[in-house]
Amino acid sequence: MTTTENRRNAITPEEYERLLPGMPDIRTSSDAAKVLTADEYFKVVHKPDTRPALWKWADVRGALDKLADEPLREAERRFCTTINSDTGELNGASPFIFIGWQLIHPGEVVPPHRHNSVAIYHILQGSGFTSVQSEGKTWAKYHWEKGDTLACPAWAYHAHYVEGDEDTLMYVVQDMPMLAASRTLFWEEPLGQENIRHEVAGKSASWSITRTDVESD
Ligand SMILES: [Fe+2]
């Protein structure tokens, strides 16, 4: 079993106690550990600048139109993202910022879920509401229409409901790349403690643990 697979598996206190006596003792610097001088460090800590990026609406709309014809499958959202390729493995619009464009058809629901990235939704089109957990068992329905902006706090449950006859289009900003870079991006979808996943170490094939049409390890 690899380290990553090990990290995915929760263990009970009893299992931990059984593991402890057999754990190897590490008393020397480990493989991943390096010591750098100041000169060496400042050479590698530099990051190349990113170029400005412009994404034309026609390209975003084209990507959304392709998704628009598909049923929602078991993924709870239909979205595309715009990234600046200069952000490399961070895959952000800028190094620590995610931009998503979410399309929801009338009558569709994005079921309750949560993540430790904050989510800021700006409504470009459509109307409806988002139920958001504020504290503990306290929830509220935040009704939105074109031009409105809603900020959903990190690790707060939320769900989107579209009303009326028009597609809803949301412009979504999140701090996902920053959390992914620090290996601390967590997701719970669908709602249910057993569905909490570490999105980085977990190698999840999908946002949703319920999806069956994509391969998951
Ligand atoms: Fe969300």
Residue 216 is assigned to a structural domain of this protein:
no
Residue 204 is assigned to a structural domain of this protein:
no
Question: What does the pLDDT read at residue 200?
Answer: 76
Distance 146 CA to ligand 1 centre (A): 19
Residue 203 is assigned to a structural domain of this protein:
no
Q: What CATH number is given to the structural domain containing 26?
A: 2.60.120.10
Q: Please name the residues in contact with 201: beta carbons below 8 A apart, sequence gap of 6 or more.
A: 4, 7, 8, 183
Tens of pLDDT along 143-165?
Answer: 999 999 999 999 999 999 999 99
d(CA 34, CA 152) in angstroms, rounded, equals: 39
Distance 46 CA to ligand 1 centre (A): 33
Say if residue 4's pLDDT is above 50: no
Residue 112 is assigned to a structural domain of this protein:
yes
Number of separate domains in the chain? 1
Tens of pLDDT along 101-139?
Answer: 999 999 888 989 999 999 999 999 999 999 999 888 899
Q: Report which of residues 215 and 106 the model is more confident about.
A: 106
Domain boundaries, position 8: 3-198
Distance 167 CA to ligand 1 centre (A): 18
Say if residue 76's pLDDT is above 90: no
Residue 88 is assigned to a structural domain of this protein:
yes
- Contact criterion met (CB below 8 Å) for 148 and 114: no
Distance 108 CA to ligand 1 centre (A): 15
Residue 217 is assigned to a structural domain of this protein:
no
Question: What does the pLDDT read at residue 8?
Answer: 54
Q: Report which of residues 210 and 168 the model is more confident about.
A: 168
pLDDT band at 209 (very low <50, low <70, confident <90, very high): low
Long-range contacts of 18-25 (CB under 8 A, 24+ apart): none
Say if residue 203's pLDDT is above 60: no
**Mean of all residue pLDDT scores within the chain:** 87
Distance 161 CA to ligand 1 centre (A): 12
Question: What does the pLDDT read at residue 148?
Answer: 98
Average pLDDT of the residues in 13-37: 94
Distance 160 CA to ligand 1 centre (A): 9
**The total number of residues written for the chain in this structure:** 217
Residue 185 is assigned to a structural domain of this protein:
yes
Distance 85 CA to ligand 1 centre (A): 24
Residue 182 is assigned to a structural domain of this protein:
yes
